């Protein structure tokens, strides 16, 4: 039974209808549109918040960043204490979390413990990042503050001559915010630093061991320097996260409108100011809060873009 | 060369003074430093894990005591009520806002990921959008809240679950895009080629071959995004706001579990503080379940 080859090819030769072709192209464009939405969203955030902040920008100018008045009664606003508080609490968090986070990253990238135990530990550290901020805040209020207050009183009595510890802790304050932020950014530093450490070529390690280096000489002089930019990228991402973190900080920092050098004093951050006042604000106060939000947005944007560039350079190596 | 059979290490070390000098004693500074640093990183690891267990212990011991069905059927108590009450409205409010957020972010995120991974892979455009996705995920959640306030609350004239859901969607979007892009990239190139070879259109290739294959890891990302959104508080305080009663609709101010925890944790009333702890327990359970489930999905792969 001879079947003509033409007959067999018949169904395959069928051209797509213009409708089907257009539909396919439309699908590609549709997905492209949603991808473009991401870029648009970033621009929209800057523009919308910027436009709503413009009355305050026009009225207070750059003085907003350097003066310490926040008075809804006289309608005069400036946010130096909050910007100061954001930077101090974030850097205090880094000061605590970088050494410990790096230590944990080394601990989890070397074979100190068998892989069977290592994996659950990595998972536990990841869970630390999953706990909601507001839960850390609750724990901070009822567990951390009572412990730290007593500890802080001891430090104030013995080291009170240092400006950093010059006031007596009354409970909430900058130091609690810094410590709780440190706990919250630790998993970020650990995760990214560990990725960077694991990515260091095994030959470097073998060469160091071959030259007679001890395990820690290898880690500190070979592996950490080789992974350095990845570690820096992780630290910067953590800094960005710490600056924007809101709930836990709002619940433990004391929300006082002042910038004191003493870590035991109460303070506030840009995000805690927004969390406390936004829902009840109106008029120029909303615009001023938007202005503060723009400042925070720009700060985190700079830190995040730098972090992305650093991490990207590492990935290319 | 050497006529003797090659000496063992023991022979050399006992005979050659050079090798002997190179051997480290347990008391040498290098060995001591080594042991000290090893001890130090063990302490670091302990320091990192302790807060996790401390937080978990606190929410379980404080919140566990209040765990009952009342929590999910009753309304939050007023400040002067000493006993009882629940957060039924806040629990439903969390489901509503997260549901609205997911309904926006999941389709948008997956479609954007399809573009990045299937149609624009390796192009500059895809690199840029990937970069912007990472930047977007670094935008503080409170700033996203401010953005949602000015786009939704100000234009629709009031606080609402939709405004809260919109803010959550902006936070979920980069997580979904990133995990879905990675998931799609894991699908072997051969299956795409086979589909195209059979005459499938680009849409058919994606919808019937690539997407089903990448579904489990995409679901992982979705679950992580949902977990993160259900714990978010900052973007909800001035978008969904709060309300002590059952919600009348999605265009009304809506109570959420996370905002309830925030409000009640900072009151001086014992009854409300206990509810805050119970609310935290529910939040932590939701988040941990999602994290562990997503971990299991990845493992099964």
Confidence class for position B86, pLDDT limits 50, 70, 90: confident
A23 touches chain B (CB under 8 A): yes
* pLDDT of A2 over the 70 cut: no
* pLDDT of A4 over the 60 cut: no
Tell me the nearest-neighbour CA distance from A161 into chain B, angstroms: 29
Q: Give CA–CA dist B31/B24, Å, rounded.
A: 7
Q: Please give the angle made by the CA atoms of A60, A90 and B164, to the nearest 5 degrees.
A: 70
Q: What is the mean pLDDT of residues B226-235?
A: 91
Task: Collect all residues of chain A within an 8 Å Cβ-Cβ radius of residue B202.
Answer: 24, 27-28
A148 touches chain B (CB under 8 A): no
Q: What is the mean pLDDT of residues A39-58?
A: 92
Contact A185, A94 (CB under 8 A): yes
Give A132-160 pLDDT, tens digit per residue. 999 999 999 999 999 998 888 888 888 88
- CATH fold for domain A60-316: MetI-like fold (1.10.3720)
HEC secondary structure over A53-72: HHHHHHHHHHHHHCCCCEEC
Sketch the domain layout of chain A as residue ranges: 60-316
- Mutation target vs B (from A47, A101, A131, A294; most B CBs, 10 A cutoff): A131
Average pLDDT in chain A: 88
Specify the residue for token string 């998993």: A187
A119 touches chain B (CB under 8 A): no
Instruction: Dig out the tokens for B113 from the structure.
Output: 């990921």
A195 touches chain B (CB under 8 A): no
Contact A244 B33 (CB under 8 A): no
Average pLDDT in chain B: 87
Tell me the nearest-neighbour CA distance from A131 into chain B, angstroms: 6
- Report the DSSP beta bridge partners of residue A76: A71
A62 touches chain B (CB under 8 A): no
A246 touches chain B (CB under 8 A): yes
Contact B216, B301 (CB under 8 A): yes
Task: Collect all residues of chain A within an 8 Å Cβ-Cβ radius of residue B44.
Answer: 99-100, 103-104, 107
* pLDDT of A45 over the 80 cut: yes
Contact A35 B52 (CB under 8 A): no
Contact A134 B284 (CB under 8 A): no
* pLDDT of A124 over the 50 cut: yes
pLDDT of residue A1: 44
Q: What percent of chain B has pLDDT over 90?
A: 51
- Mutation target vs B (from A132, A185, A193, A301; most B CBs, 10 A cutoff): A132
Tell which residue, B79, B83, B90, B91, has the closest CA to residue B66.
Answer: B83
A304 touches chain B (CB under 8 A): yes
Q: What percent of chain A has pLDDT over 70?
A: 94
Residue among A103, A216, A244 whose CB faces B44 most closely:
A103
Tell me the nearest-neighbour CA distance from B256 into chain A, angstroms: 12
Length of chain B: 301
SS3 A217: helix
pLDDT of residue A3: 47
């Amino acid at each position: 039974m001879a079947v003509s080859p033409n007959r067999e090819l018949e169904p395959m030769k069928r051209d797509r209808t213009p409708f089907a072709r257009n539909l396919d192209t439309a699908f590609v464009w549709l997905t492209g549109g949603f991808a473009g939405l991401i870029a648009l969203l970033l621009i929209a955030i800057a523009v919308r918040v910027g436009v709503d902040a413009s009355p305050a920008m026009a009225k207070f100018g750059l003085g907003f960043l350097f003066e310490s008045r926040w008075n809804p009664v006289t309608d005069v606003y400036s946010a130096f204490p909050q910007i100061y508080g954001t930077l101090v609490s974030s850097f205090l968090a880094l000061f605590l979390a970088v050494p410990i986070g790096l230590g944990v990253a080394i601990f989890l990238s070397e074979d100190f413990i068998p892989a069977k135990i290592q994996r659950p530990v990595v998972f536990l550290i990841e869970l630390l990042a999953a706990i909601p901020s507001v839960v850390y805040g609750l724990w901070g209020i009822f567990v951390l503050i009572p412990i730290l207050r007593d500890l802080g009183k001891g430090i104030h009595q013995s080291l009170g001559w240092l400006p950093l510890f010059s006031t007596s802790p009354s409970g909430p304050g900058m130091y609690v915010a810094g410590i709780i932020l440190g706990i919250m950014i630790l998993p970020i530093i650990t995760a990214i630093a560990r990725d960077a450490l694991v990515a260091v070529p095994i030959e470097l390690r073998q060469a160091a061991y071959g030259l007679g280096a001890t395990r820690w000489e290898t880690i500190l002089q070979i592996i950490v320097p080789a992974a350095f930019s990845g570690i820096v990228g992780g630290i910067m991402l953590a800094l960005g996260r710490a600056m924007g973190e809101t709930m836990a900080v709002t619940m433990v920092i004391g929300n006082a409108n002042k910038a004191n050098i003493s870590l035991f004093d109460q303070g506030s951050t840009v995000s805690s100011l927004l969390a406390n006042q936004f829902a009840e604000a109106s008029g120029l106060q909303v615009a001023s809060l938007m202005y503060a939000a723009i400042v925070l947005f720009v700060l985190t944007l700079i830190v995040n873009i730098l972090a992305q560039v650093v991490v990207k350079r590492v990935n290319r190596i | 060369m050497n006529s003797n059979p090659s000496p063992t290490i023991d022979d050399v070390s006992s005979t050659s003074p050079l090798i002997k000098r190179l051997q480290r004693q347990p008391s040498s500074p290098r060995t001591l430093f080594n042991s000290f640093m090893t001890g130090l990183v063990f302490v670091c690891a302990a320091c990192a894990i302790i807060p996790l267990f401390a937080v978990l212990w606190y929410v379980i011991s404080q919140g566990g005591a209040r765990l009952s069905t009342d929590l999910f059927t009753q309304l939050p108590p007023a400040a002067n009520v000493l006993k009882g009450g629940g957060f039924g409205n806040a629990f439903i409010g969390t489901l509503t806002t997260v549901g609205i957020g997911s309904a926006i972010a999941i389709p948008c995120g997956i479609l954007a990921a399809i573009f990045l991974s299937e149609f624009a892979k390796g192009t500059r455009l895809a690199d840029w959008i990937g970069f912007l996705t990472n930047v977007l995920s670094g935008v503080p959640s409170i700033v996203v809240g401010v953005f949602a306030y000015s786009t939704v609350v100000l234009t629709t004239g009031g606080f609402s679950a939709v405004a809260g859901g919109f803010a959550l969607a902006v936070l979920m979007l980069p997580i979904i895009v990133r995990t879905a892009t990675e998931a799609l990239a894991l699908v072997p190139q051969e299956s795409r080629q086979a589909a195209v070879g059979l005459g499938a259109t680009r849409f058919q290739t994606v919808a019937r071959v690539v997407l089903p294959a990448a579904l489990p890891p995409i679901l992982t990302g979705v679950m992580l995004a949902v977990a993160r959104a259900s714990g978010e508080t900052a973007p909800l305080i001035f978008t969904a706001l709060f309300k002590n009663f059952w919600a009348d609709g999605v265009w009304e101010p809506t109570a959420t579990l996370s905002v309830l925890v925030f409000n009640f944790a900072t009151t001086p009333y014992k009854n409300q503080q206990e509810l805050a702890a119970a609310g935290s327990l529910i939040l932590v359970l939701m988040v941990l379940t999602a994290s562990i489930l997503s971990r299991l999905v990845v493992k099964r792969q």
